[in-house]
């Protein structure tokens, strides 16, 4: 991550364990936003699909939206912790 390269050139110390958490949460969020899970033919008949297309617009299920929001909030929390770590450094 770019911020850790910049910090490496300064005397400021930051919690480097957050780097892995931020990267992991970023990848998870990207997957949630771009990948749709593989479902069986039986599940296709279900009314509760993770995503469906209507009139060319993708609609996510409420469960999928909650999962995205939870992951996004984790990412925001980790970024805040990194900011606090840098400010304290």
Contact 17/78 with Cβ under 8 angstroms? no
Please name the helix (run of DSSP H) or strand (run of DSSP E) that holds residue 11, with its range, or none.
none
pLDDT band at 52 (very low <50, low <70, confident <90, very high): confident
What is d(CA 26, CA 74) in angstroms, rounded to the nearest whole number? Answer: 10
What is the predicted pLDDT for the residue at 65?
92
For the entire predicted model, the pTM comes to 0.73
Q: Which two tokens stand for residue 10?
A: 């300064």
pLDDT band at 89 (very low <50, low <70, confident <90, very high): low
For the segment 51-59, the average pLDDT, to the nearest whole number, is 84
What is d(CA 67, CA 80) in angstroms, rounded to the nearest whole number? Answer: 20
């Amino acid at each position: 991550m770019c911020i850790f390269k910049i910090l490496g050139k300064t005397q400021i110390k930051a919690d480097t364990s957050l780097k892995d958490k931020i990267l992991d949460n970023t990848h998870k969020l990207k997957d949630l936003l771009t990948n749709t899970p593989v479902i069986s033919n039986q599940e296709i008949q279900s009314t509760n699909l993770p995503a469906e297309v209507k009139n060319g617009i993708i609609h996510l299920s409420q469960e999928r939206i909650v999962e995205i929001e939870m992951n996004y909030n984790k990412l925001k929390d980790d970024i805040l912790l990194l900011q606090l770590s840098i400010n304290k450094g």
